Amino acid sequence: MSRTASLLLCALVLGVAAAPVTAQDEAGPVVKARAASNSFIVRMSEDPVVAYRGGIAGLKATKPAKGQKINPNSPDVVRYVAYLQSRHDAALAAVGGGRKLYDYKYVLNGFAAKLTPEQAAEMKNVPGVVSVENDERLKIDTVSTPAFLGLTAPGGLWEQLGGSDSAGENIIIGVVDTGVWPEHPSFSDRTGENNSGVGDKLSYKQIPGWHGKCTPGEAFSASNCNQKLIGCQGFSEAFGPENFHADEFASCRDSDSHGTHTATTAGGNHGVPSVIDGISIGPVSGMAPRARIAAYKVCWTDTALDNSCFTSDSAAAIDQAVADGVDVLNFSISGTTTNFLNAVEVAFLFASDAGVFVAAAAGNTGPTAGTVNHPSPWLTTVAASTHDRFFQGSAVLGNGAEYTGASLTGGTGPGLLPLVYAGSVGVSTDPTPTDPTPFATRVQLCFLGHLDPALAAGKIVLCDRGINARVDKSAAVKQANGAGMILRNLVAGTLNADVHSVPSVHVEHTVAGPAIKAYIDASPATASARITDGAILTTVAAPLNASFSSRGPLAATGDLLKPDVSAPGVDVLAGTSPWGNLGQLFGFLQGTSMASPHVAGLGALLKQLHPDWTPMMIKSALMTSASQIPGVNAFAQGAGHATPNKAADAGLVYNAGFNEWLAFLCGTGQLVDPGCAAIAIDPSDLNVASIAIGDLLVEQTVTRRVTNVGPAATYNVAVVPPTGFTVSVNPSVLTLSPGQSASYTVTFTRTTATLNVYAFGSLTWSDGTRSVRSPLVVRPLPMSAPATLNLTGASGSTNYTIKFGYTGAFAATAHGLVAPVTTNQTVADDPTNNFNTANPAGNQGIQTKSLVIPAGTRLARIALFDEFTDGADDLDLYVYNAAGTLVGASGGGTSAETISLSNPAAGTYTVYVHGWQTDGPDSNYTLFDWTVGADTGNMTVSAPASAVAGATGNVTVNWSGLAAATRYLGVVRYLEGAAERGRTVVNVIVP
């Protein structure tokens, strides 16, 4: 590491305010939540253990050599850890003390503690402290998939590793999730078909390179671990055991099923017979069936039956997992969409630098663009796709029509039964009047307790999909003594064969759903149906992209493609916890949560096959060998669907390491330090296996470096250029010996590409045997200009340069400056620390303001400022239009919140101020709002009259006549005729 890079380590932990996280569950509204316990994550300036190279008197270097793991018990590590902990204690004492939750030592340096808001503010000024961030509450986001992915094929990756009895041998997969059900047969000591056991002479404590443990707790003892499940630990200090639901285990035992499912998907034993509700499904296997599993439980079920995971608990688990000796980490939990430098992302940075391959779920908020989680380039972000096995059943109506769908249950028998719509068999009195979802909607969705047994008994009930869990709908039908359920999609979505409480079939939204509902409506008194036996295995076209899978472009920067790859995430069969799955040991779950452990398991196999490969080389191999899912672009599938057998013989890989990640962070602007000037790169130049340019002006050249991990070969390049671009590669031929590296450049030149729209293409190197494909994602911009001008004074002038990406007419026009409308209000503290965006008026701790936006408004802004509240408060903002649609949200860690609406539609909007956490029972604050429309005469702008592609121009802004003690807002719009080509927001503060 260079001296400059070493200095930048101190700045690395300087993060930006974390964006609100989104739920990974299908059921329930999106919420942002945080504990009322005032837990904070404090990061310190010294290197963590995995990065410390020495330099402190009396403390030797602890950074492990390449290919080696740290030993947390070595004297040098123990001494350095003690030093770090003493620094943590000193920082905590400097603000008057507080209850420490965790010390982070190995891949983070810092601690989590319960602090008052005042202490947290004071902590930021303690020497050696470089960031203080609010703890966040995050959400938890196979009989066929090994064969579907080709692992079982002759010559496939399993066979290359010696067969299923060797695939994953001695690779340790750490799963950060809801824990595990240790008695599950997928975790037993059996191996292969001979059930001979796994190294019975060794205790799990004696596995070479393993330093982990099995922590006893409720319904869990150290004896629950074995040679397969070698570690199980719980982390709940931030969540708080006092908040556990009665059915939650105060141990790493899984009450939810999510963790058992992800762990068995990644590394469950081979050939384990699976039975669901008495139906034999067949033998199941994890991706790396001989891998060892270490579970880290960070997600817990609270008294409101909400399962969630705190950032500080997750960071502690990641820190411990690397110290324990894991080779791979799976993180099927939601996360930031914008912040490369929050605690979890930084922990993964140092874990990757220490040689740990990390797979993380992309999120389940698709198909909305710009929603992908886990943006960091040092981990592998996984989208969800389908696989080729579908369990089918059907609904046969009394008119003879038959509609197939997804089903795993038995049928209702040969005779017809009365068929009713849930909306007509609801209870008369609302059982949960405080629920924000309208009562009639809850009946139609078959909420528990909402169906009347007098009306539903003995009948098949048609339920609508949405909000509550699919299995809860059939449970509601059973609760009302119903005989079966038809579940219909209302919009495009997956069909799912779940473990239901009554015979059930899930049908699509275009033909089957409307036809069944129309049949009921036509003759509600005589409509009838029967449900056939399900679990009829059929083969369907696959892979297809899952509609729920979160999409790019990356919110943090358009110069990096995310997600990276896709993997099966729809109706994935794997192990479950019988405690949380109706007594069943297996079940079908879906989400990017299910896709991520597939890639974690594949990463384990590739690490076993190529122990000298870095995590980024593994990621590259998976990306460049991926197959293309038809009909979707790279923002949905990343580089494509994982094909591990091809990844095993990747040919060329793109590698990157710590110094390059620092240079990337400097280039994004998230890492701010004087040392950045020496090493910053354009983020598009980070050496990853994709090329993304979000801000191309006319032409841009990027650089990539490949390393030959195959035999000596000559590679030729082939390019499918993005529409409207020419692409040239230099050199176009690479002749490489084994282990040799070479760089090449790619120049993109816009010809006819539509401005402000992403275009997609590919670049493929081939030696005749191996194809190394990189997706290309490019967006041309009409111009570049400062996004914001922050100015001061009642009058003044400023100049700046703009650059053009087109040739044509050009004009710059002034709008504003306008003074704000200020509103003084008081908002109560929200004791639930939740804001339900689906029903804003139903939340606690809210204050509202009606905001009228007139026609012709170019910019509307609503803002709060820390200095305009009466204390150390954390307030958030939400804005809804007249139709009740959320159009803006701001939920950072303080009361500094801003929502800006560009060219908003005229109408009346509602602003919600949420008392996320106040420093007393309430907060007095001042709300600011501006509506910028026409030129007000106090700002002028001069600029060139025409644009020339590739040329620059000078813009001058003058302002005058502003009142004292006022914050003004304006906009400079850049026009080609009537079309807006860009804008600069002008903020002027007059003292």
| DSSP letter (8 states) at residue 342 | S
Coil, strand or helix at 667: helix
- 320/613 Cα distance (integer angstroms): 23
Residue 719 has φ and ψ, to the nearest 5°, of -125, 130
- 373/336 Cα distance (integer angstroms): 6
Decide: 211 and 323 in contact? Cβ < 8 Å: yes
- 748/732 Cα distance (integer angstroms): 15
Coil, strand or helix at 330: strand
Q: Please report, for residues 186, 241, 660, 664, 789, the alpha-carbon distance to residue 677 in angstroms, rounded to integers and kept in the order given.
A: 52, 46, 14, 12, 22
Among 128, 243, 226, 245, CA closest to 185: 226
Helix 615-624 vs helix 592-609: crossing angle, to nearest 10: 110
Active site (annotated) includes residue 258: yes
Active site (annotated) includes residue 874: no
Handedness of CA 357, 554, 298, 247 (dihedral sign): negative
- 431/377 Cα distance (integer angstroms): 48
Active site (annotated) includes residue 593: yes
Among 941, 910, 944, 942, CA closest to 927: 910
Among 97, 102, 29, CA closest to 311: 102
Task: Put the strands of the sheet holding 307-310 in their side by side order.
Answer: 299-301, 307-310, 137-139, 31-33, 834-836
Say which of 47, 177, 254, 256 is annotated catalytic.
Answer: 177
- 693/780 Cα distance (integer angstroms): 8
Instruction: Give me the helices (H) in 289-438, please.
Output: 311-324, 343-353
Among 954, 964, 975, 989, CA closest to 815: 975
Decide: 586 and 275 in contact? Cβ < 8 Å: yes
Say which of 274, 332, 550, 593 is annotated catalytic.
Answer: 593
Decide: 265 and 274 in contact? Cβ < 8 Å: no
CA atoms within 13 A on the CB side of 243: 21
Burial class (CB in 10 A: 0-12, 13-18, 19+), 480: buried
- 93/86 Cα distance (integer angstroms): 10
Say which of 258, 270, 374, 914 is annotated catalytic.
Answer: 258
CB atoms within 10 A of CB 179: 31
- 432/450 Cα distance (integer angstroms): 9
525 CB contacts (<8 Å, ≥6 apart)? none
- 842/984 Cα distance (integer angstroms): 37
CB atoms within 10 A of CB 195: 9
- 107/350 Cα distance (integer angstroms): 5
Decide: 488 and 465 in contact? Cβ < 8 Å: yes
CA atoms within 13 A on the CB side of 393: 26
Among 27, 675, 651, CA closest to 305: 27
Catalytic residues: 177, 258, 593
